[in-house]
């Protein structure tokens, strides 16, 4: 049981790390999107419109990936808590 708990704990920590990394990427992309929107609002030209579209797509994708990563981390945490609870009941 201890080995299973250790594996679940490692999987949860890895999932949290992935979620944190994606959250950082999303934050940077969101800032870049705001910058592109600002430039587009001031007549940045065709290149800015193309960049804006690309960054909007990136932000949308990253937000979806972040939500999925957070969900996975949450599910792994729940499994970890359950495994620890079962381990204490059998101790």
Q: What is the pLDDT of residues 30-82, one digit of tens each?
A: 998 998 888 888 877 777 778 888 999 999 999 999 999 999 999 999 999 99
Model confidence, pTM:
0.80
pLDDT of residue 11: 96
Count CB-CB contacts under 10 A for residue 28: 13
More confident call, 24 vs 4: 24
Q: Contact, 65 vs 22, CB < 8 A?
A: yes
Mean pLDDT confidence for 19-27: 97
Instruction: Enter the tokens of residue 91.
Output: 């101790």
Band (89; pLDDT cuts 50, 70, 90): low
């Amino acid at each position: 049981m201890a080995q299973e708990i250790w594996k679940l704990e490692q999987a949860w920590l890895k999932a949290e790390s992935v979620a944190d990394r994606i959250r950082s990427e999303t934050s940077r992309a969101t800032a870049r999107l705001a910058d592109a929107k600002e430039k587009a609002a001031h007549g940045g030209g065709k290149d800015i419109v193309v960049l804006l579209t690309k960054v909007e797509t990136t932000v949308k994708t990253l937000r979806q990936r972040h939500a999925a990563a957070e969900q996975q981390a949450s599910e792994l945490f729940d499994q970890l808590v359950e495994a620890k609870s079962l381990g204490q009941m059998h101790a």
